[in-house]
């Protein structure tokens, strides 16, 4: 008799450890081969955008920590710049340097979670513990700065909540001196590991055309060969005055746009963040850290869209003001949500185990997908 097979409908999630949060993927498979994969979101909806309409501009700042809890400083910064541009609030130069410094520190520790969990998802346990070890050193710095280790609520309209404590810049330099050799060690352990590279090479390839067509952002876009970074191409804060490179995917190993490229790009971005941080520490000016207004903040009528380069790509805030002390409407655009759109296209033909690698390589986080 001829061998016959039949399709299965499988649920991956919403509590699967490799879905990086409360996400569900509906798989149609024939054995281990995926015919289709449909992402299903909605398990983590908290109504953040609606909450913004009910609280004042300042009161919404702590909620931005919850957009992406692994990059709360970056979320604080994007929202603050949006309100400041519509309100015409000037930010002191020292505050701008502090903001960029904490944003790049947050980029490093967000990427550490990304590359560490990536290795963990495909079976390498030890690298994750190394990534957590380095992350904790930055958490110590953030705790010294603002008292928090995850959701910081540190950025304010017109500056930041607290000035740098005594010895903070020296502490950042000590971390950078410590971190670069550890990053080299991490690369020897996993990034340049033959098994790791061959496991990911050619898996989940996303072409530059598809990356643009599906509105991918950040490392996922650049890994497909698209040279675009808002810090350089639409600079905000002091990024125009800083010297750094924008890593782009290459065929150094595997294919441009594959899972390994998306992983390796984040390693290279951490190196560039170190480069930016050294410049911030060296050039940190004196002066005020907060242009504080004692008046209740009311924005003029109008609308604005501001986008910044968060660890997971473009983080955009579209704000409509009717002249009140709270937004009439606030729409948030995140990199993780756009990354989910391409899963359905890339997944057919993959093995189920490869889907785990694909999701990990996209570095999605559930709060960004489902707000």
Distance between CA atoms of 143 and 126, rounded to whole angstroms?
A: 26
pLDDT digits (tens, 9 = 90+) for 22-45: 888 999 999 899 999 999 888 888
- Which residue has tokens 């994969």? 37
% of the chain with per-residue pLDDT over 70: 99
Residue 17: the pLDDT is 73
Burial 105-144 (b: 16+ CB within 10 A, else e): bbbbbbbbbbbbbbbbbbebeebbebbeebbebbeebbee
- Residue closest to 357 by CA, chosen among 205, 252, 224: 205
- Which residue has tokens 């607290």? 162
pLDDT value at 59 more than 70: yes
pLDDT value at 60 more than 80: yes
Residue 333: the pLDDT is 95
285 exposed, middle or buried (CB, 10 Å; 0-12, 13-18, 19+)? exposed
Domains along the sequence of the chain with CATH: 8-369 (1.10.645.10)
Residue 295: the pLDDT is 61
Residue 13: the pLDDT is 77
For residues 353-362, average pLDDT: 92
Question: Any bridge partners for residue 171, and if so which?
Answer: none
Task: For residue 360, give both structure tokens.
Answer: 């990990």
- Residue closest to 61 by CA, chosen among 75, 43, 46: 75
% of the chain with per-residue pLDDT over 90: 82
Residue 7: the pLDDT is 87
For residues 238-257, average pLDDT: 91
Q: What is the DSSP string of 305-333?
A: EEEEEETTEEEEEEEEE-SSSS-SEEEEE
Average per-residue pLDDT in the chain? 92
pLDDT value at 292 more than 90: no
| 360 and 18 Cβ atoms separated by less than 8 Å | yes
pLDDT digits (tens, 9 = 90+) for 80-119: 999 999 999 999 999 999 999 999 999 999 999 999 999 9
Residue 370: the pLDDT is 83
pLDDT value at 1 more than 70: no
pTM of the model: 0.94
pLDDT digits (tens, 9 = 90+) for 205-233: 999 999 999 999 999 999 999 999 999 99
Residue 250: the pLDDT is 87
Distance between CA atoms of 199 and 260, rounded to whole angstroms?
A: 9
Distance between CA atoms of 197 and 106, rounded to whole angstroms?
A: 27
Residue 42: the pLDDT is 85
pLDDT value at 294 more than 60: no
pLDDT value at 19 more than 90: no
Distance between CA atoms of 73 and 245, rounded to whole angstroms?
A: 22
Residue 185: the pLDDT is 92
């Amino acid at each position: 008799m001829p061998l016959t097979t039949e399709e299965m409908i499988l649920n991956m999630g919403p509590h699967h450890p490799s879905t990086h949060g409360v996400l569900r993927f509906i798989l149609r498979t024939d054995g281990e081969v995926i015919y289709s994969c449909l992402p299903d979101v909605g398990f983590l909806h908290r109504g953040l955008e609606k909450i913004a309409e009910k609280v004042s501009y300042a009161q919404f700042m702590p909620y931005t920590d919850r957009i992406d809890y692994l990059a709360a400083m970056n979320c604080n910064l994007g929202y603050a710049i949006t309100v400041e541009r519509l309100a015409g609030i000037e930010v002191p130069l020292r505050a701008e340097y502090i903001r960029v410094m904490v944003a790049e520190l947050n980029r490093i520790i967000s990427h550490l979670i990304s590359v560490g969990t990536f290795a963990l998802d495909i079976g390498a346990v030890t690298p994750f513990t190394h990534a957590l070890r380095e992350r904790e050193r930055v958490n110590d710095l953030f705790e010294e700065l603002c008292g928090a280790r995850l959701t910081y609520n540190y950025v304010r309209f017109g500056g930041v909540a607290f000035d740098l404590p005594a010895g903070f810049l020296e502490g950042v330099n000590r971390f950078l001196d410590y971190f670069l050799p550890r990053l080299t060690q991490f690369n020897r352990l996993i990034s340049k590991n033959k098994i790791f590279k061959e496991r990911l090479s050619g898996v989940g390839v996303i072409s530059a055309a598809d990356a643009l067509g599906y509105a991918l952002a950040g490392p996922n876009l650049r890994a497909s060969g698209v040279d675009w970074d808002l810090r350089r191409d639409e600079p905000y804060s002091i990024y125009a005055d800083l010297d750094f490179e924008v890593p782009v995917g290459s065929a150094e190993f595997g294919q441009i746009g594959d899972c390994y490229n998306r992983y390796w790009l984040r390693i290279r971005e951490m190196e560039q963040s170190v480069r930016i941080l050294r410049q911030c520490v060296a050039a940190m000016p004196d002066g005020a850290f907060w242009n504080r207004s004692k008046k209740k903040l009311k924005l003029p009528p109008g609308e604005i869209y501001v986008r910044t380069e968060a660890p997971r790509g473009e983080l955009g805030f579209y704000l409509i003001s009717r002249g009140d002390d709270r937004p009439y409407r606030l729409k948030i655009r995140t990199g993780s949500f756009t990354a989910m759109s391409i899963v359905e296209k890339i997944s057919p033909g993959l093995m189920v185990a490869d889907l785990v690698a694909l999701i990990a390589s996209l570095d999605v986080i559930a709060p960004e997908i489902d707000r």
